[in-house]
Amino acid sequence: MTSDIVVIAPDSKPGTGGVTDYTLRLLEQLPCRDDISLIGPSDFDQLPRSAGKVLVEYSAYGFDRLGYPRDLIRALIDWKRNTGGRLVVMFHEIWAFWPVTNKNYFVQLMHRRAIKKLLNHVDLAFTSTVSQAEHLRALNATPPVEALAVGSNIRLISGINSVREPGVAVLFGLQRARIRTLERMQSVLSQLAASGKITKLVTVGTGSGEEDEEFGLLSGLPCSQGFEQRGEQSEEAISILLATTSFGIFGQSELSYTKSGTFMAYAAHGLSILSELAGPTKAEPFCWLVSPSELIDGISQRKLQRRAEQLRDWQERTSSWKIIGAKIANALELTSAASIQTEVLRR
């Protein structure tokens, strides 16, 4: 039987990807959970037949190998026209930006035009970064577009004896992202290892068959206690690791930190995040990060702990699952959404 409330996501199996895991965490926070159906991007026949509610966890490449899910976009527009139901879209990805000489340029140009048409039928749109929100607003779209940072897909396991190992750093995330971070930060990480500020580096997360490349980059770091490649681990094992190491290494850009489950997992677990984005005069959360140069020059344990606490507080205020759930429930106009948001804001 078709549900009146439908969520569309790339998959429904835990651990299959960031957007899927995000969706499953979100569903745990929504009221009327038992009345919500989770469907895939091609299950058009399961959209509500009357004026229901649809939430799309939009992932261009998660929905289509070319990054242009045109059939889904057309189906959503037709559904909205025919039923007048409520349509909310969370854009985890928008169109990709390619140079005009690349063959994908024209595919993504059509993708951009299709998103513009879709936005004219959306009641409310969210996206995970400020820059993506600006791109969507530039389409002169009808609905409001709100930037909403992602939550941490790694829940903090209660009761962990979180005694942190001095000098131990963790690099968490997909393997390709880990390799990019190691390449980008190889010089500063070598300096930190040589100075004894980082004594051991542990990588953890899903692999992509590039273990040898990752091994080579880790081998080039003079860590006194070496390194570990733990690969894919359970959520509990990752939570324990994040709660018992001293530093989390983050090498992504300033534009993408709000869509990084890695960043949010570090923050939620109270890690000192080591990043070249750090700056004491910057706005939060960057003022709570730790730059490699600070660590080499010497920063007190008290300051490190204070920043980690402030960072965890920031994450709780801006991208905890309770906050995200309340905003999405309110956007969908679900039963009890107003009371949930009131309760969250009280805390």
SS3 labels along 268-309:
HCCCEEECCCCCCCCCCCHHHCECHHHHHHCCCHHHHHHHHH
Q: Is the pLDDT at 345 greater than 60, yes or no?
A: no
3-class state of residue 262 by DSSP:
helix
| Residue keyed to tokens 């390709």 | 176
Residue 19 has a pLDDT of: 86
The mean pLDDT of 126-150, rounded to a whole number, is 91
Q: Quick check: 88 and 56 in contact, CB under 8 A?
A: yes
Residue 156 has a pLDDT of: 84
Q: Quick check: 279 and 254 in contact, CB under 8 A?
A: no
pLDDT-derived band at 18, boundaries 50, 70, 90: confident
pLDDT in tens, 71-126: 999 999 999 999 999 999 999 999 988 888 888 899 999 999 999 999 999 999 99
How far is residue 230's CA from residue 240's CA, in Å, rounded to a whole number? 13
According to DSSP H, which parts of 47-160 are helical? 60-63, 70-83, 104-119, 130-137
* The two three-digit tokens of residue 91, written as one number: 């854009």
* The two three-digit tokens of residue 209, written as one number: 């068959």
The backbone torsions φ and ψ at residue 72, rounded to the nearest 5 degrees and listed phi first, read -65, -45
| pTM of the model as a whole | 0.86
Return the CATH class of domain 165-319.
alpha beta
Residue 32 has a pLDDT of: 83
Closest alpha carbon to 286 in 257, 262, 245: 257
Buried b (16+ CB within 10 A) or exposed e, 266-280: bbbbbbbbbbebbee
According to DSSP H, which parts of the chain are helical? 18-29, 60-63, 70-83, 104-119, 130-137, 175-184, 186-194, 211-219, 235-244, 261-268, 292-297, 301-319, 321-332, 337-346
Fold of the domain spanning 5-151+330-346: Rossmann fold (3.40.50)
How far is residue 103's CA from residue 308's CA, in Å, rounded to a whole number? 44
Q: How many CB atoms lie within 10 A of CB 33?
A: 11
pLDDT in tens, 171-182: 999 899 999 999
Residue 13 has a pLDDT of: 64
**Taking all residues of the chain, what is their mean pLDDT, rounded to a whole number?**
89
Q: Quick check: 206 and 175 in contact, CB under 8 A?
A: yes
How far is residue 130's CA from residue 323's CA, in Å, rounded to a whole number? 18
Give whole-number Cα distances, 187 to 34, 119, 217, 276, 297, in Å. Answer: 51, 44, 11, 12, 16
Same CATH fold assignment for domains 5-151+330-346 and 165-319: yes
Instruction: Average the pLDDT over each of 13-22, 131-140, 188-197, 303-312 and give the range with the smallest value.
Output: 13-22
How far is residue 346's CA from residue 34's CA, in Å, rounded to a whole number? 26
* The two three-digit tokens of residue 67, written as one number: 């990054």
For helices 18-29 and 261-268, what crossing angle results, to 10°? Answer: 50
Domain spans in the chain, listed from the N-terminal domain onward: 5-151+330-346, 165-319
Instruction: Average the pLDDT over each of 6-15, 86-95, 188-197 and give the range with the smallest value.
Output: 6-15
How far is residue 3's CA from residue 8's CA, in Å, rounded to a whole number? 12
